[in-house]
Structure 1
């Protein structure tokens, strides 16, 4: 690696190989630091989680009658407690953020929010299986808890993307479940 130097001669100096390697590692770590912050946040509160994803979905949909789930994510509150952030879409297309306590089955807040992804209503309408059914398809073989579910598309198919986080191995298993058939299309593993 060659770095410019402010010497009067205008020359360049060569960094020792070890210094260049250390700088490359530092840049790589900085780049990766934000990649899995959501998974890390979920993993930190996972041992305290008492309200499972299906219960958080039920409470969210009850809070906004006639709505459908677009996304549900486990987060860490400012008080370091588990909280579910649920995005639900009402029949008229309005989007609501419903926050559900992860320790006790109760709604903390609900508010209408700007619709950043109008296409999700169309995806929800195409889905034949409920998010709770998608969760059941992927939690059978795993020892972990659902920390995220979101409707999306993959290779032209409407899918429920489900993340299951394990406490023991600190891994996140991510699944794409066909939202029309319930078939598990893809499974991946992310190590935290």
Structure 2
């Protein structure tokens, strides 16, 4: 109890003095405080206890400072090269934070630095949005998406019927470049597919589809790709 009081008092003093406490979490054991900057924390340490639904680290900053800047069209490559956590590892960290099915992953640089944004359909039936440090998979932010729309209903049905997951889809496409996003998409014909985007060393972006049932990889149709993609050529 004394340890809790000391940490709480220090945080209050910092706020009164005009400082900023970005994130801190304390559990019952010694040495269980986690800060959002200056300390590398593993995904296992930072993730909440299974089923708790509450991240222990909130509104933290990534260990990889990076600005959202695509002035030269090489933003995706810079982000992919800087990330130390792969898409499949990010999916594992997201599942540890919220047990359930990861339906989306996106590597992005924002105000927090370089992060993985993950969408998880929790076993509690709720949609969770989790932000993970791209340097060490630490949970930086987590909240529940309360929107209830047709898109979520279709995505939930597709996730429940899928025999493959986002991590497997990322590993399948990883031989074609560094994976920067994975999304469960039902816009490809009559059945859903994992849509995976990668970037190769030459800075070109590629888009693939991974069958949710068989796990088979295919190149996304040209009309479904961004204008600057080069998906017609396999690497």
TM superposition score normalised by structure 2 = 0.58
Larger Rg: 1
The partner residue of 1:155 within 159, 169, 189 is 189
1:46 aligns with 2:80: yes
**Cα distance between partner residues in 2 of 1:40 and 1:86:** 23
Partner in structure 2 of residue 69 of structure 1: 102
Cα-Cα RMSD: 2.4
C-alpha displacement at 1:134, in angstroms? Answer: 1.6
The partner residue of 1:83 within 110, 115, 125 is 115
Partner in structure 1 of residue 126 of structure 2: 94
C-alpha displacement at 1:40, in angstroms? Answer: 6.0
Partner in structure 1 of residue 212 of structure 2: 179
Q: For the structure 1 residues 107 and 178, does the alpha-carbon distance in structure 2 shift closer, same or farther, using more than 3 Å as the test?
A: same
**Cα distance between partner residues in 2 of 1:132 and 1:170:** 23
Partner in structure 2 of residue 133 of structure 1: 168
Post-superposition CA distance 1:68-99 (Å, at most 9, x none): 111110110215x3100001011343111100
Is the contact made by 1:41 and 1:76 (CA closer than 8 Å) also made in structure 2? no
C-alpha displacement at 1:106, in angstroms? Answer: 1.0
C-alpha displacement at 1:41, in angstroms? Answer: 4.7
**Cα distance between partner residues in 2 of 1:137 and 1:43:** 19
Is the contact made by 2:101 and 2:165 (CA closer than 8 Å) also made in structure 1? no
Q: For the structure 1 residues 41 and 113, does the alpha-carbon distance in structure 2 shift closer, same or farther, using more than 3 Å as the test?
A: farther
Unaligned runs of 5+ in 1: 1-35
C-alpha displacement at 1:61, in angstroms? Answer: 0.7
Q: For the structure 1 residues 155 and 94, does the alpha-carbon distance in structure 2 shift closer, same or farther, using more than 3 Å as the test?
A: same
Unaligned runs of 5+ in 2: 1-69, 230-235
Structure with greater strand percent:
1
The count of corresponding residues between Structure 1 and Structure 2 is 151
TM superposition score normalised by structure 1 = 0.70
